[in-house]
């Protein structure tokens, strides 16, 4: 069953003695004229079906708390928090459909929707909401260690199947690029399927020192689409930085390179109406350190093109 959960109040540190520009994300939640909407998908069912470690349903709330105290640039118009879609029980398809509707509704009033997952089953809802709300060819950029193009199993779709589901919905329009892929974490069968489907890939090994090895692929995709759906699976980060995911990376892509990849997509894309960040499991983060790293990336998705690099 899918349930619409209203947003909790945003709270955090305030420093009025430092003047009107001493602002943090919690000060800009619910701002008038916000161009960006924030939503959460509180769901563990996709991870459970994918035989992963649960806890991603708790991710949206924990990520908001970690992001609340981060500083924002002067003049940034802020964001609207539209709350969460919570999935209880095993009806993942109903949850994804409800999330897609919420995203589409948000895009009526806002330029961009930023979604906090949930497992990577969130992606099918994010893409569905964008497709419902905006016309034009969609290019998908997935910053991820995994292809997530598995065939659905006996229980149906999972966090490992969303891009196969997207291709099944729109085979002619499927245009998919994965940045940070781990060869060791994807079977030969999946890599062969990716080649058959003309999936673009830039491996994690190529991105250890910087984002430039991805530029040609990102620019090529952006040049042939009308809009980009950007999805970030936190398991692309090294295990030492991001242990709080279902499948931690043995190698991963460094945090500063992931930040640069996000900036590159925003700089190159015609528009990025939907971006999401998935797989964070706070129960696997007892120290809270992983949440702080994830919060930096969530802030970057909220601020978008240019704004995240003003400060």
Residue ranges for the binding site for Mn(2+)?
Answer: 120, 144, 146, 148, 233, 235
Count each helix (H run) and each strand (E run) in the chain, helices first. 9, 9
Whose CA is closest to 274, among 167, 114, 141, 119? 114
Strand ranges in the chain using DSSP code E only, listed in sequence order: 2-5, 36-42, 79-87, 112-117, 138-143, 176-181, 200-203, 227-233, 274-278
Q: How far apart are CA 295 and CA 288, in angstroms?
A: 11
The answer, yes or no, to whether the previous bond of 118 is cis (omega within 30 of 0) is yes
Query: Which residues carry a binding-site annotation?
Result: 120, 144, 146, 148, 233, 235
Helix-helix angle 255-268:215-223, to 10 degrees = 30
Report d(CA 79, CA 14) in Å as an integer.
18
**Rounded to an integer, what distance in angstroms lies between the CA atom of residue 292 and that of residue 282?**
11
Beta bridge pairs of residue 81: 38
Which SS3 state, helix, strand or coil, does residue 37 take? strand
CA distance 307 to 311: 8
- Measured CA to CA, the distance from residue 148 to residue 150 in angstroms comes to 6
């Amino acid at each position: 069953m899918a349930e619409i959960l209203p947003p909790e109040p945003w709270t955090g540190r305030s420093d009025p003695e430092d003047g009107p520009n001493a602002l943090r994300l919690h000060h800009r939640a619910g701002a008038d004229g916000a161009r960006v909407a924030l939503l959460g998908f509180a769901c563990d069912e996709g991870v459970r079906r994918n035989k992963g470690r649960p806890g991603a349903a708790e991710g949206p709330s924990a990520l908001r708390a970690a992001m609340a105290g981060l500083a924002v640039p002067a003049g940034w118009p802020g964001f609207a928090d539209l709350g969460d879609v919570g999935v209880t029980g095993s009806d993942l398809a109903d949850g994804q459909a409800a999330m897609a509707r919420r995203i589409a509704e948000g895009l009526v009033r806002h330029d961009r929707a930023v979604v906090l997952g949930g497992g990577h089953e969130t992606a099918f809802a994010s893409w569905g909401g964008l497709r419902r709300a905006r016309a034009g060819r969609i290019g998908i950029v997935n910053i991820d260690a995994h292809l997530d193009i598995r065939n659905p199993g006996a229980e149906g779709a999972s966090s490992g199947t969303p891009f196969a589901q997207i291709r099944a919905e729109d085979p002619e329009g499927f245009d998919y690029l994965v940045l940070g892929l781990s060869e060791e974490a994807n079977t030969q069968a999946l890599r062969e399927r990716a080649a058959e489907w003309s999936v673009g890939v830039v491996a994690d090994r190529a991105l250890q020192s910087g984002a430039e090895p991805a530029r040609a692929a990102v620019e090529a995709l952006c040049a042939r689409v009308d809009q980009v759906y950007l999805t970030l699976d936190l398991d692309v980060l090294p295990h030492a930085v991001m242990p709080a995911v279902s499948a931690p990376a043995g190698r991963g892509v460094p945090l500063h390179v992931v930040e640069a990849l996000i900036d590159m997509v925003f700089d190159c894309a015609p528009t990025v109406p939907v971006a999401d960040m998935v797989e964070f499991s706070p129960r696997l983060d007892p120290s809270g350190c992983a949440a702080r790293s994830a919060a930096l990336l969530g802030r970057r998705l909220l601020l978008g093109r240019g704004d995240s690099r003003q400060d």
